[in-house]
Each structure stands twice: as structure tokens, then as C-alpha cells.
Amino acid sequence: TMSRMTKTDFALLRVMMRSNIQDYLKRIPFLSKVPASRLEMLGEMSQFEIFKAGDEVCVEGSEGDKVYVVIFGNLHVNAMSVPDALTGKTHKLLLAELVIGDHFGELSVLADI
């Protein structure tokens, strides 16, 4: 059975349908000089992934095998649980918030980390 789509799901679907993944790829600084034919080939190998609020996209310390580009919404980058010096309780440390057009993962892919 198919679950009901929310307004956000429909909005994301509209963005994806209008999107050409090469448009997002060429905005990444290290890909800006790549010829259009190569970007097209890279785009054909690419795919859209949908993550819901609270989903983990990747985990600190794990192997990276993808480059991600934020095309809808935002993404929080957290450090692993950090113990509080006073209470000893652990909490996530917000390092950054990525927004539409931001990207990450390229270094681990290029360096094969």
C-alpha cells in the first residue's frame, strides 16, 4: 500500500521533476570547470534521495561513497554525542546547517576515504 503524501512530499516531488541534476552539479566549485558532457555523464550516474526530518544521511567516521547536494529543505551537521563537562550527559553538537545548494561528501569520494 502507498502511504499518503504530505504537502512537503508534493513540493519536493515538484522540485525534483523540474530539476536537472547537472544544474546542481555544476554549482559545486570543484566541478565548475568540468565539461558539460562529463557533467551529463556524472548526472546520469546520479540519483535523487529523499530523507525525512531526523534521518541520518551519513555517520561520522563511516566510509564516504557519495556526494550529496541539498536541493530542498535543510540539513543539520552534528558531531557524535559529546559529554557535558558538568553533568556527564551526552548531547549532539550542532556544527553547521546546510541549506539549498550546499553540498558535502566530495572529499571522502575524491580521497577514497
Q: Supply the pLDDT for residue 98.
A: 92
Average pLDDT over residues 20-40: 80
Q: Of 5, 3, 26, 7, nearest to 73 (Cα)?
A: 7
Q: Supply the pLDDT for residue 97.
A: 93
Q: Among the listed ranges 15-29, 78-92, 97-111, which one has the minimum average pLDDT value?
A: 15-29
Alpha helices per DSSP H over 1-113: 7-18, 21-25, 36-44, 106-111
Supply the pTM of this predicted model.
0.65
What angle (nearest 5°) sits at the alpha carbon of residue 79, between those of residues 95 and 85? 100
Q: Which three cell numbers stand for residue 52?
A: 525525512
Average pLDDT over residues 16-22: 67
Partners of residue 76 on adjacent β-strands:
97
> Is the predicted pLDDT of residue 73 greater than 70, yes or no?
yes
Contact 15, 23 (CB under 8 A): no
